[in-house]
Chain A
């Protein structure tokens, strides 16, 4: 691998200054994805700025009743936090559904948001990939794509976002906060990940040189009644082939509030807005769940070998909404 320089930052401004405008430098959080990519040559930074020691390791309640999660909070600490478990249980479940205990103790919230796809063409530098090498082509479209996107993809890239955590954060309208040399900024997670289009190598709305400092979760009473369900090809330690973060508030047999986000179906965590609109004010019945799932999946464009995901996601959405409605009825 390429030899690289290593620096450690002690405060946010210093970290941003150390990175500067150098496109050849990367922030290093837990390193659970970046270091792997450096070994395989997908990432070849000249310099790393280690941000593990920045004072961004806290989870705090916000004045409006939400949560602010620091960028260097580990996945393990996030999942174990009592307020996360009480107010946003799907978020804790999503984090625990990912990786392994060892990895969760290293991986950070900021790094998790920026992790790269595990598409087998992206991670192999001997193969073409528009995300890694713009213009080189997307062999997954005609090659192996059984775990690729059914929603929001383009002919230029059909890779899926690997994060579980980000799916739950998307369902709960999280906002990403960052710092640049010109000052702080923020981006709702729903707009943070860019559409694929013909620029699959441009993944986020983060300005060049920006450092993610944290994520805020607005207050959402519905989130207290939420679940995360992940389906994968083995019982543990695998990326999702489909996942759902769902929150449901039923009053008098009618949907009062609902949140739905899907994982492993698109280049980004997929907020199921069409399904949510169908469910707004709808009776809490299986027919509603099915109609909502169908509304969301009407936009699905499966490839020859991933059509099963349409069935899977429909079944998952219906199953999780059913389960939440049953829990509400108790």
Chain B
């Protein structure tokens, strides 16, 4: 058969039906190869040597000794490395973090800064030589002390303005029946995805090829082309399988160093980061200090809302954790003020990490709302329902569907919230005090221009190509289902190929925008292909291919507040005699557009919620003030939730269709973590009667708080 019928057979509805991962078998059998394990002939291995001081200059590198070590081929440092340029604006609208422009000068702006790349025949030889490399520094005093009242803090615009404001805050607070004024802190947190960063660079027929683990081939090609002043068409980046990204896998030191070494040595060079190196080279979430002031009428309606957040960045690049942005979507008030500020310290540059801004911001805001509910004597769910805004509190734009109330009501119903006794510290199960808490959530549902091709083959199958990235989310499978529906065929007849910059420009897997953006491009290409095929012409051996580009369609979208929403509920048990906090059950109800693949979507939501448990109770990178580096920078020292920490946990979603939306699909990668930590923290208060405003809620903090409460006659020992 050479003429393919699309859509005339029984209509398919792959989208919305559970589908195991199309590459699942390859992954569980080890057939799927990741960037650090794909073999190459004549491969050399580079190992990064990192600074051991937090600030200063490199005075000397004893490279001669290292060059004489077994297998060592070269040492690249600021004296001999190829030059790169950082004077450009990348795909995401920002200049590059100079941290990735390695070996360009002798300055050291933070501990763990790359000072050299040692290249050797084997990875072990390179590591041994890199660790033997003696570097002399002119050390300078450093400042890594992040604190809320740092005098050098300043407001910084990000994708939104640093500061927004309307109304007279002092007047509204003064006129409020109930006021909450609290400070919250969140610690430095790290992505710590399962697969460490890895890249292999080689020159092949005049083109630079990089086999990489990243969140967007288009993104990385653009950065490398700019850095090395190459024509983007002469750079190819492939990233077939990616073991997690969470915002950390863009361009980093290892890819740039690998390209430099491959160029210098004219042979393939691989650079892999260790877990410990990732703590200083892969970005992280800045700690935050946040102040929230809320003022409400007797009936709980907000009159005043102020959210101020401080985060830190490096001395070489501006990145801000925009935690105060949450209230710009969630709640309105007569006086509504938000401000994001940053302070530059001698630390690595932080970056996007799952729900940047929203994750720490929702902790502070939703915990403060819980305190306001207590103040007002209003149920926390009801308080949120009473403060549903009619339009964007700051933008004034209409909401393109705002199904938060439905999430709250469905979550409350399924969690059994109506039976909740609001009094704290009165439920006990043996040594455990029990409590429940909730929080609301939102995350932006944006889209960015992407291109895709769809090809009809003579045998009745189809190939869709798009430079998407499946960073473990199940994107490849989701896109297969989207493509199948758009082509009107069963998913088995569609092969979706991703992770190759040669497929044309596409959005990254980030900002919860990947699946929405890619689906848009695939649907457009498939639609056009169906029109072509409907003309009934024969399909030539090379197939019929059409290409889509969503730039114009996205530009034509009417301005609106577009978001996904969620309601998080948690039950915790606290032993105040040991400080142990255990989550017993958790429920998240989400409104996140049309759910493409219920199986992997559930994994996305649960993964976010579990990360929220981690954020509430475990995660914290400890920075040593004396050296300026981390203590315990590995997964033994940096705790994330284990299976035993994850209890009965459920995620589900409500109908969230928007007929006016051209895709109907929203991203689901980030909404799951938003509000999760606040729900846990609010439950800890309900269990013990003690508010924990500093994350993580560690045993020592619970013990100290319960002692304070006991000695002052508080409710902690109820």
Contact = CB atoms under 8 A, between A and B. Distances in A.
Interface of A: 1-3, 40-41, 118, 120-121, 123-124, 126-127, 139, 142-144, 146, 231, 233-239, 241-242, 305-306, 308, 311-312, 315-316, 319
B29 interface: no
Contact of A144 (B577, B631, B641): B631
Nearest to B635: A237
14 contacts: A3-B70, A120-B622, A120-B630, A124-B629, A143-B624, A143-B626, A146-B698, A231-B578, A231-B580, A236-B642, A238-B642, A305-B700, A316-B578, A319-B431
A120 B579 contact: no
Contacts of B128: 1-3
What 8 A-B pairs come out closest when comparing CB atoms? Answer: A120-B631, A120-B632, A236-B644, A235-B644, A308-B700, A315-B577, A144-B631, A236-B642
A236 to B, nearest CB: 4
B373 interface: no
A3 B124 contact: yes
B629 A236 contact: no
B627 A41 contact: no
Contact of A121 (B631, B642, B698, B700): B631
A196 B327 CA distance: 53
A123 B579 CA distance: 27
Given A120-B622, A124-B633, A235 B703 contact: no
A236 B52 contact: no
Interface of B: 52, 70, 124, 127-128, 131, 276, 431, 577-580, 582, 617-618, 622, 624-627, 629-634, 636-637, 639, 641-645, 698-700, 703-704, 707
Nearest to B111: A126
A235 B579 contact: no
Nearest to A323: B431
A315 B578 contact: yes
Nearest to B53: A126
Nearest to A40: B276
A312 to B, nearest CB: 6
Contact of B699 (A3, A118, A144, A231): A231
Contact of B626 (A40, A41, A142, A312): A142
B680 to A, nearest CB: 13
B632 A233 contact: no
Nearest to B640: A234
A233 B625 contact: no
A139 B632 CA distance: 13
Contacts of A311: 703, 707
B579 A308 contact: yes
B707 A234 contact: no
Nearest to B623: A144
B629 A139 contact: no
Given A308-B579, A316-B578, A319-B577, A234 B642 contact: yes
Given A144-B631, A234-B639, 16 more contacts: A3-B70, A120-B632, A123-B637, A127-B624, A139-B627, A144-B624, A144-B632, A231-B578, A231-B699, A234-B642, A235-B642, A236-B644, A239-B636, A241-B700, A305-B700, A316-B577
B630 to A, nearest CB: 8
Contacts of B704: 308
B612 to A, nearest CB: 14
B632 A231 contact: no
Scoring B631, B632, B643 by chain A CB atoms within 10 A of each residue's CB, the highest score goes to B631
Contact of A308 (B582, B622, B645, B699): B699
Given A118-B637, A127-B624, A1 B699 contact: no
Given A123-B632, A126-B52, A315-B578, A233 B618 contact: yes
Contacts of A143: 624-626, 631
Given A124-B633, A233-B618, A233-B639, A139 B707 contact: no
Contacts of A120: 622, 630-633, 637
Contacts of A316: 577-578
Contacts of B634: 123
Contacts of B578: 231, 242, 312, 315-316, 319
A234 B617 contact: yes
A266 to B, nearest CB: 18
A123 B632 CA distance: 8
A237 B276 CA distance: 19
Contacts of A41: 131
Contacts of B618: 233-234
Contacts of B703: 308, 311-312
A294 to B, nearest CB: 15
Contacts of B707: 311
Contacts of A315: 577-578
Contacts of B276: 40, 124
B645 A312 contact: no
Nearest to A229: B578
A126 B642 CA distance: 29
B577 A233 contact: no
A312 B631 contact: no
Contacts of B643: 236
B624 A234 contact: no
A95 B416 CA distance: 39
Contacts of B627: 126-127, 139
A96 B149 CA distance: 46
A139 B629 CA distance: 12
A74 B10 CA distance: 60
A139 B577 CA distance: 30
Nearest to A316: B578
Contact of B644 (A2, A234, A239): A234
Nearest to B704: A308
A241 B699 contact: yes
B642 A233 contact: no
A76 B634 CA distance: 25
Given A123-B632, A143-B625, A235 B645 contact: yes
A93 to B, nearest CB: 15
Nearest to B51: A126
A24 B496 CA distance: 54
Contact of B700 (A139, A146, A234, A319): A146
B699 A236 contact: no
A239 B644 CA distance: 15
Nearest to B131: A41
A127 B642 CA distance: 29
A238 B617 CA distance: 13
A238 B127 contact: no
Contact of B579 (A2, A40, A144, A231): A231
Given A233-B639, A235-B642, A1 B632 contact: no
Contacts of B633: 120, 124
A233 B622 contact: no
Contacts of B624: 127, 139, 143-144
Scoring A126, A142, A143, A236 by chain B CB atoms within 10 A of each residue's CB, the highest score goes to A126
A235 B631 contact: no
Contacts of B642: 234-238
Contacts of B124: 1, 3
A265 B393 CA distance: 52
Contacts of A319: 431, 577-578
A215 B703 CA distance: 37
Nearest to B703: A308
B431 A144 contact: no
